[in-house]
Amino acid sequence: MNIYFDNAATTIVREEAAEAVLRVMRTNYGNPSSMHRIGRAAAIELADARRSVATALGAEEGEVYFTSGGTEADNWAVFGTAGVTFRHGKHIITSQIEHSAILEPIKKLESEGWEVTRLKPDSNGRIPVESFADVLREDTVLASIMLVNNETGAVNQLAEFSKEIKRRGLRTVLHTDAVQGFCKIPFTVKSLGVDLLSISSHKIHGPKGIGTLYIKSHNRLHSMFFGGPQENKKRPGTEALPAIAGFGVAACLGRKELDETSASVRELHEHMIRSLGERLPQAVVNSSGDSPYILNISLPGHNSEVLMNYLDGNGIYVAKGSACKKGHRSHVLEAMQLKNEIIDGALRISFSRYNKQDEVDQCVTALENASKTLRRAVRNGKTSK
């Protein structure tokens, strides 16, 4: 039995995307920059995939730039903006609940003399619009706030942040890491009002190693790499066409199925909360429920890693936080100022379109058994810590 509830870390590649990857590797293997017939066919493949991703974002094709994934897109957004805006100011706004792909680049800039304001989340894990407005300044050149938090599923009001910037007539470039929101919650780049936006293929049942940075038309961004003319001279190097083709298919189908999949996942999310309430009333729900794809819970008195290992032994795969944290304590839950016992007993359960209700039931049963077994071990002189 394998029950996979770690979809916020990565997802299984859907069959249609895998077929596209293999097809391009085997039959449409040309370099899109080559001028012969096979190269021209590859260029058409690249353009089709770019169009699919752009359509799913509500963007223009020329605003979509392929990267190696969400981390590169985030780094490019931060360093690329800093490289062209430093003459106008050196103040950056971000939040305490960002992914490491944002926190670390900004920390690097801070070490070089940039001023950084890190906003605290409220008790639901969201960044209040009022807090954002209070710290926005004339010299704020970049604001990077994630759309959907990767540990709690809390959704931030990017459109309101954008309105505040525009209302005050500021130059501030607004970026969002939308990796956990793309093809999961309804939005377009225009509805959010952002200048830059990062997404990743492997979070939506596409292949790993490919992502996108949306760059709004006429928005200047310093390049991180230099070489050939690929990606409009902004991101040189031969395109990873097989992965790009798979991403295009995943984006196209993900956007088309968004409403249906979200409704199905919402049912799973709510069913798990009800089941936990009935069978494990001591369980605490840490997430707001904004995005149904991510459910963060705690079993106070138990250790996250021990619980995770117990479930692993039963073929059920969850996480204690972001995969990039490598077992470290959740900085997101700490920023929300949750009690230590809540943080130490936290698990992230993340759903996909392929999960079923009976898998939720089996997970709750396993958690119930884990709690009983671990309490018994404590009574017998052992510890779950």
Q: Where are the beta strands (DSSP E) in the chain?
A: 3-4, 64-67, 91-95, 115-119, 140-144, 173-177, 196-200, 211-215, 284-285, 294-298, 316-317, 346-350
Neighbours of 316 (CB within 10 A): 23
Query: At 226, which amino acid appears?
Result: F
Burial class of residue 196, CB neighbours in 10 A (0-12, 13-18, 19+): buried
Task: Give the separation between CA 238 and CA 327, rounded to whole angstroms.
Answer: 35
Question: Catalytic residue among 183, 252, 324, 363, which?
Answer: 324
Q: Scan for tokens 């884990």, then name that residue.
A: 370
Task: Give the separation between CA 54 and CA 9, rounded to whole angstroms.
Answer: 24
Query: At 17, which amino acid appears?
Result: A
Task: Give the separation between CA 139 and CA 158, rounded to whole angstroms.
Answer: 20
Cα angle, residue 377 at apex, residues 323 and 366 outer, rounded to 5°: 50
Q: What is the DSSP letter of 128?
A: P
Could you give the count of Cα atoms lying within 13 Å of 15 in the half-sphere of its Cβ?
A: 1
Neighbours of 76 (CB within 10 A): 26
3-state secondary structure of 208: coil
Task: Give the separation between CA 294 and CA 7, rounded to whole angstroms.
Answer: 9
Q: Scan for tokens 């293999």, then name that residue.
A: 22
103 and 94 in contact (C-beta within 8 Å)? yes
Can 324 be counted among the known catalytic residues?
A: yes
End-to-end CA distance of the chain: 27
Q: What is the DSSP letter of 120?
A: P
Query: At 63, which amino acid appears?
Result: E
Burial class of residue 130, CB neighbours in 10 A (0-12, 13-18, 19+): exposed
73 and 199 in contact (C-beta within 8 Å)? yes
Task: Give the separation between CA 98 and CA 95, rounded to whole angstroms.
Answer: 6
Catalytic residue ranges: 324
